[in-house]
Structure 1
């Protein structure tokens, strides 16, 4: 039986099975919230260790490496694994309710996104037990992030942390595509894009920023993993390797500030409206200001680089853009304050947290203006002024989201929290927070990430430590309050608040499984639920094409791998195989896929211990699932060294995880899954597109940034050497043009054959459809064969390896990324051929899946048209 997105066929919430197989957006939201709170506790305990260490100059409990690990991990966990997922837990739960959708556009991708998020946390946590985790700071600056500058004891754990972060970015990309498609295509009738509630609107802008910012981070992490695993020399290169990382990181990093803050800002606006009893003053301008910030966030990143060798005119431009981005925030802050003044405020716990968050953010914003001035930044950079400013800016989001949890807690649970304990939590948290961070402005000359400081600062550091423990204790009050209230008799029906305006408050508390008692409509200017002949919703079902993506794992070397990751890998993989064979009426594939993905990452971090080499990494990338029978003999025939097949157990565990991961994706795509398709919905400006087509275009937008970052990295490094000096500094100066030219012809021909496959599928000509799909597959295979012959000649005959020079690193890795896209395309083609053989995709209405794949394949071909001249002609 196929599982439906409305959740009517799910197990009861009291069972563990429900939480393993659910695709219901409210369940996924709760899982995100609980997991991110666990991360908050994890990162908070690390923060307390930092403050204990700083009780006196020179430290109390940690040595240098231990302190660096704690500081780095605290920052990474808070920024990546707590703040954004915490906001998106609420987004998962409430965005569909606010826009009138039964679920997100791709429920299975939503579940997959969560399970990848969870396994990424586990992978990062395990890095502490693999010698030592990453210790180069949460910004992971080069060259401290490359093997040559990492302590030997931390080599394995550092790679585990990097791969865990890569898995998290994959999760974010899936979620971004899902939310963008949902908000564009699944709004209730009459609900214009500009009229959706402010929280959903803030999520909409956030996911657009995430789509592009995290693609740049993914490029940086893939390159960094390659430096660790394959010996490339991007970030250790004297051709501006450190500067390259800084550009990539902060192109992601500054939008991340707003990615973290926007969900809180949207929730704060909704709470201010509710507890002041009036509509937000200047709502239109508030929305415009948010959109301006989202756009401007991508043109301010170099203000983090004022101390580098960038020339003064460019620095001045970025100083101006930095000051400019503060102006829309001024408008938004004044809109919130003026709404409070014009309204009649009710001083409930959610409002108190919003007010506290606003005060904290104002302090963070004002102190950030100091850092936006070039001259002042020279003095403040690398000091505790930055630490204090950063926490005032970022933690204001956390405080605002805590207010949102109190605000929506009655809606999610049907129970009311204890108001007195809520206010105790606010007072203790607000006092503790300011005791913790405001003294850092006073002792700003303390160097960051150093536990030795001027003895005259001791008193203020001790005040900060006391504040940290008070701040931490305040959350114990919150946990007690919320858990105890869950079992209390303080029930609520719809809303405990006197003034609410968004549609979730029109439903029972908690909302029903299928969200609405009828089809929601805003056509009359207010929310109505249409039933019977008034609505056509729910009668049409569309098979979701929200398949997954294979993550490519790579390996590491160190002498500190142990036997336990291998045993854990085998055990978890066996669990996944066992689960996949259990007949079930529920959709379990997202959960199962996360297991082999985790196994592959565990195998990778131990593989270097077994003698991993770059050749193993190339083999692992090339011999993807379903191609293994072709790939293995092919690699062997090219003269791979005799010792290649003697790789240790970790390498083969990684291969097993990768192959079984591909098997789960086949199960993911093959199994029937029905999603109620709303026919009575607002879909401007994409009325003519389906959900899957819009999702594919959105994914391609992210992939453009990924390839753009790789190509930009190549251009940056080549310009550092001088355009022609690039060849003089290389160990190999000549690449024949004909292999690239032949591959250009092959890919262009394959784009033509996939178009013909679509044409004949629409004509219901099964044989011709299969033939042209097969020709497309053959063209892709010929491309890879030609590429492998070329690489073999360059690598073995010419001795030009990935580690020879930056030219070799950029050539192999960039063309290798493209080849990986070709391999993924071949896997999808094999799936399409198998389904087409069974009679799928025939006819005008059924051929869309081939069309969607064609969009991906044309994109892969277009990318090659850029790579060919860059690497073979210029």
Structure 2
């Protein structure tokens, strides 16, 4: 209940909160910390590069670690999360919702993010963090090819930290997609949503599939590093396999990072030019085209590989083609500025700076899109400069968003003079840092020595790095001063702002709206229990009339179902998972000794440390306990009674969220199966060793799982009829069949082990054990859920009045069964 919710000055508030605005603030603050962390890494290696032979500040290994950590921190732990912070805070406000669809999962997403970053920091103290570059190219991503073998544990912890981060992203995407598609205010169609919300909707659609591909790649890499499988430790096409899976994620990631920044640019240009964005309809269409095309250009990162010229030419065309929608968006921003009355506030200056930097980054990127030029520029500082002009243009727009929404989030105004000084130092520092890299383009990237003729350019870049870093100190001072002593912000400090968040107090109340927002009349109104005046939906100020403002500030709309805002269990699950992953990072030596004892040609990397198995078991125990408490907790997050839900009117929030999860899981399994097909073709289809001991166990398990799907359907029928005994019997039958499936798999595995065929015995064995093991893990998770449901039925007569959870479990179980239908012929019959 809101009355029992801890105040913002309480530490407990931030540990238990599930409110979207609190979670947004947590994301923004945490992302700023990782910005500083990654920035320090950058200053370290830029200082080292002051002279051609290096200053000696870093060793060769620590230089590689600093460069890798900088890239990972900025791309994963800063850029996407700070955008997610803005989205958490603002998207529900912009679409008229009181919170996200799944508030506890939203909090869990944040804690996964935070603890993944903590795990990355711990890796520095485990012999050294990962040092194979942020793209983690094979075979440098496995310990065999890593110079500092003692850094195996820290490198593995980094990979597991990334996996935890991708789990955070997956939960977030499910949540935002469900919310935006099913919780828009009455009358707010998709076409009329604010442009920042539009940009975030397309971002999370891209995240749903792109990060699933990354998760699959990380799963395969983690098994190589922990279990000593052979995906990337061979010369049998492993480099190409990693490049395909990673860049299927990696290129959409560029747009995932840039789209929220683009949405901020659209919003700020409209506000500070005093007019609607020119060509708004075409801008939205262009963003949709880019989102789709982003998955069709990944191979331009592989122009230097053995892929044939026809394929390279095709991807050169798709690469150039994806620049065309961006041209339209750039011209829309320029024409909006030309036709408007520009106000050079701090947010607008940063947005304008972002546009200038993005144009330079885009033009230099076209060079790399040409196969012939890419042969010359690939792997040089030209790529470094181009990449940063694109990515940091996104950072520039995100800083514009920070200044733009600062009054709304904090209720305080900032010092415009300090903001403009910040922009001037930032813009000069950035260009002084990165433009010389175009001139020093012959320098190979990620090297700790360079040719003496390039010294001047590198020294300019190093000076620029420190100027650029100093600009952030100005920003932190300006925002800190505002927070401590800044004047109170009005509810709407910007004359021509047009989105709904400016129609409520600054900062907004806990549950956002005193009444129900509605656009049914074509303009924003607050209806039902409030008498707030309608606001101007045109190009003028979007401010609530004084009488309505008082109502919004003082009167809270009472609903029959009151939303909860507090739960400690997301924090508990996040902490438990991080501890479990930390334990896993140190298990490799045990597996290495096991493999050596069975005659494998594998050298143990370190002496075993008994701490890691203990930590693993403790983390697993804590995780199971916190998941149990999470499942048993009564938490109310009511769906909006009246909302726009196209195109998912007939689908509930939970079912839709599950659909999105399964869609991402399709990509995970697709990548694992794709790895099998790719490596088998690469080695020769007929030369492949068939691993299963016989076909009949696979056929038997196919019948077992298909039968279990039938018992799940019967369970749903029993729940609909309110038949408790029948529901218990059918769910128990499903569990028994699932255990039978796992028993047959255990027999298969033990038979192969008895013959001396382990997962580390060769590539074919690795792929068989990992792919079927991934499916088996899904079966185990399903069995745990089924067991939990049976306990709830026995203790609470659950699911008899509301049978939907049984239906949702059935959807997951059917998906697991369908996956097996693909695995059976691939591994047992072909």
Q: Aligned runs of 1:74-153 on 2, under 5 Å?
A: 74-150=70-146, 151-153=148-150
Q: Aligned runs of 1:721-870 on 2, under 5 Å?
A: 721-727=683-689, 735-795=693-753, 797-843=754-800, 846-870=802-826
SS at match of 2:756: coil
Structure 1 range deviating more: 768-777 or 590-599: 590-599
1:26 aligns with 2:21: yes
SS at match of 2:637: strand
Question: 1:319 and 1:850, CA in 2 relative to 1: closer, same or farther beyond 3 A?
Answer: same
C-alpha distance in structure 2 between counterparts of 1:533 and 1:465, whole Å: 58
SS at match of 1:129: coil
Q: Aligned runs of 1:434-449 on 2, under 5 Å?
A: 434-449=431-446
Aligned equivalent of 1:639: none
1:274 aligns with 2:254: no
Aligned equivalent of 1:519: 516
Once superposed, what is the RMSD of the aligned Cα atoms?
1.8
8 A Cα contact 1:765 1:842, kept in partner: no
Deviation string 1:81-127 (CA, Å, 9 cap, x unpaired) is 00000111100000000000000000000000000100000100111
C-alpha distance in structure 1 between counterparts of 2:91 and 2:12, whole Å: 25
Aligned equivalent of 1:693: 655
Report how far residue 541 of structure 1 moved: 4.0
Deviation string 1:396-430 (CA, Å, 9 cap, x unpaired) is 11000000000000000111000000000000000
Aligned partner (choices 145, 151, 154) of residue 154 of structure 1: 151
Question: 1:271 and 1:849, CA in 2 relative to 1: closer, same or farther beyond 3 A?
Answer: same
SS at match of 1:62: coil
C-alpha distance in structure 1 between counterparts of 2:797 and 2:471, whole Å: 58
Report how far residue 477 of structure 1 moved: 0.7
C-alpha distance in structure 1 between counterparts of 2:670 and 2:695, whole Å: 23
8 A Cα contact 1:230 1:614, kept in partner: no
1:62 aligns with 2:65: no
C-alpha distance in structure 1 between counterparts of 2:486 and 2:169, whole Å: 38
SS at match of 2:234: coil
8 A Cα contact 1:69 1:132, kept in partner: yes
Aligned equivalent of 1:672: 634
SS at match of 1:436: helix
Deviation string 1:243-277 (CA, Å, 9 cap, x unpaired) is 10011110000000000000000011000000000
Report how far residue 317 of structure 1 moved: 0.3
8 A Cα contact 1:801 1:808, kept in partner: yes
SS at match of 2:586: helix
Report how far residue 492 of structure 1 moved: 1.7
Report how far residue 586 of structure 1 moved: 4.3
8 A Cα contact 2:300 2:312, kept in partner: yes
Report how far residue 763 of structure 1 moved: 0.4
1:717 aligns with 2:679: yes
C-alpha distance in structure 1 between counterparts of 2:691 and 2:584, whole Å: 33
Report how far residue 533 of structure 1 moved: 9.5
C-alpha distance in structure 2 between counterparts of 1:720 and 1:538, whole Å: 64
Deviation string 1:170-193 (CA, Å, 9 cap, x unpaired) is 100000000000000110100001
Q: Aligned runs of 1:144-543 on 2, under 5 Å?
A: 144-150=140-146, 151-532=148-529, 539=559, 541=561
Aligned equivalent of 1:659: 621
C-alpha distance in structure 1 between counterparts of 2:818 and 2:4, whole Å: 44
8 A Cα contact 1:757 1:769, kept in partner: yes
8 A Cα contact 2:261 2:398, kept in partner: yes
1:47 aligns with 2:42: yes
Aligned equivalent of 2:604: none
8 A Cα contact 1:539 1:676, kept in partner: no
C-alpha distance in structure 2 between counterparts of 1:355 and 1:210, whole Å: 27
C-alpha distance in structure 1 between counterparts of 2:751 and 2:166, whole Å: 35
Question: 1:537 and 1:234, CA in 2 relative to 1: closer, same or farther beyond 3 A?
Answer: farther
Question: 1:400 and 1:472, CA in 2 relative to 1: closer, same or farther beyond 3 A?
Answer: same
Report how far residue 865 of structure 1 moved: 0.1
Report how far residue 379 of structure 1 moved: 0.2
8 A Cα contact 1:537 1:679, kept in partner: no
SS at match of 1:188: coil
8 A Cα contact 1:763 1:842, kept in partner: no
Question: 1:586 and 1:321, CA in 2 relative to 1: closer, same or farther beyond 3 A?
Answer: closer
SS at match of 1:606: coil
C-alpha distance in structure 1 between counterparts of 2:692 and 2:498, whole Å: 67
C-alpha distance in structure 1 between counterparts of 2:609 and 2:303, whole Å: 46
C-alpha distance in structure 2 between counterparts of 1:343 and 1:690, whole Å: 43
C-alpha distance in structure 2 between counterparts of 1:661 and 1:234, whole Å: 29
8 A Cα contact 1:365 1:393, kept in partner: yes
TM-score normalised by length of structure 1: 0.89
Question: 1:611 and 1:315, CA in 2 relative to 1: closer, same or farther beyond 3 A?
Answer: closer
SS at match of 1:682: coil
SS at match of 2:12: helix
Gaps of 5+ in 2: 533-555, 597-607
Report how far residue 598 of structure 1 moved: 1.8
1:591 aligns with 2:587: no
C-alpha distance in structure 2 between counterparts of 1:660 and 1:811, whole Å: 31
C-alpha distance in structure 1 between counterparts of 2:722 and 2:807, whole Å: 14
Question: 1:121 and 1:527, CA in 2 relative to 1: closer, same or farther beyond 3 A?
Answer: same
Question: 1:675 and 1:409, CA in 2 relative to 1: closer, same or farther beyond 3 A?
Answer: same
Report how far residue 685 of structure 1 moved: 0.8
Report how far residue 612 of structure 1 moved: 6.7
C-alpha distance in structure 1 between counterparts of 2:150 and 2:431, whole Å: 37
C-alpha distance in structure 1 between counterparts of 2:587 and 2:677, whole Å: 32
C-alpha distance in structure 2 between counterparts of 1:837 and 1:106, whole Å: 26
TM-score normalised by length of structure 2: 0.94
C-alpha distance in structure 2 between counterparts of 1:825 and 1:614, whole Å: 30
Report how far residue 346 of structure 1 moved: 0.3
1:607 aligns with 2:587: yes
C-alpha distance in structure 2 between counterparts of 1:205 and 1:135, whole Å: 32
Question: 1:524 and 1:801, CA in 2 relative to 1: closer, same or farther beyond 3 A?
Answer: same
Report how far residue 537 of structure 1 moved: 8.7
C-alpha distance in structure 2 between counterparts of 1:329 and 1:789, whole Å: 56
C-alpha distance in structure 2 between counterparts of 1:172 and 1:107, whole Å: 15
8 A Cα contact 1:189 1:521, kept in partner: yes
8 A Cα contact 2:799 2:806, kept in partner: no
Aligned equivalent of 1:38: 33
C-alpha distance in structure 2 between counterparts of 1:84 and 1:694, whole Å: 24
8 A Cα contact 1:822 1:860, kept in partner: yes
8 A Cα contact 2:799 2:805, kept in partner: no
Structure 1 range deviating more: 651-660 or 281-290: 651-660
Gaps of 5+ in 1: 545-584, 617-645
